[in-house]
Structure 1
């Protein structure tokens, strides 16, 4: 599925992008491969005005996602280790 906001980013058209956001396009919409418009704009390295605009209207930056994914993965790792340790203790108690 394609969103108009991603098409405007691909074209590097900050004016169309601004109009889409003003008309209700979600600047935090998760698109193809899980990228937000800001992440997609950064990956294109095409028009930094588009990137700068998205930074002002987006609530989550790529750094936010990177930081929180790292935290989530570390928590999941701790849970998996605890579950694994519990299974080992259970096996020893049998």
Structure 2
């Protein structure tokens, strides 16, 4: 099952609306929708909170979805590139 499907099924199982979840996480309903439809992905802090909130292991959320893994890997690469570019500016 993909990341967004896990979130949506967990929300429905708890009988919650996207608006209710959004209020809990202090984000917009559209943000919850984007996560569930995999248009965007949450940052790592929100990901951990989602895991706890829905009682779904991070392992389950991440390992079964290549899109989420690719997103996280790209963010890591972007961080490394920023560090390298800072180092080059100091030379």
Task: Give the TM-score normalised by structure 1.
Answer: 0.37
Task: Give the TM-score normalised by structure 2.
Answer: 0.38
Greater Rg by CA: 1
Structure with bigger RCO (C-alpha 8 Å, 6+ apart): 2
